[in-house]
């Protein structure tokens, strides 16, 4: 696999993790992803991902912890 293909695969994995966590979060709360609340949680999820929560499960745990604060 070339470096470019590896990079694209990695980016695809990143999107899959973020999307999976967002869909699960919104489904749990009956929130539309394209609503203001959905967009706000997407922004928080991206920040948490960059902070090191890079699996779907870890990201969901971090989102639940944010909700408590």
Provide the terminal-to-terminal Cα distance of the chain, rounded to the nearest Å: 43
Spatial distance between the Cα atoms of 45 and 51, rounded to a whole number of angstroms: 10
Please write the tens of the pLDDT for every residue from 9-68.
567 888 999 999 999 999 999 999 999 999 999 999 999 999 999 999 999 999 999 976
Please write the tens of the pLDDT for every residue from 29-42.
999 999 999 999 99
Domain assignment of residue 1, yes or no: no
Look up the domain containing 33 and give its range: 29-68
Give the burial string for 20-45 (b: 16+ CB within 10 Å, else e): ebbeebbeeeebeeeeeebeebbebb
Domain assignment of residue 56, yes or no: yes
Domain count across the chain? 1
């Amino acid at each position: 696999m070339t470096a470019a293909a590896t990079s694209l695969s990695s980016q695809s994995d990143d999107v899959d993790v973020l999307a999976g966590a967002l869909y699960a979060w919104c489904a749990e709360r009956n929130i539309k992803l394209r609503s203001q609340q959905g967009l706000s949680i997407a922004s928080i999820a991206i920040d948490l991902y960059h902070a090191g929560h890079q699996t779907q499960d870890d990201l969901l745990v971090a989102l639940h912890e944010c909700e408590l604060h």
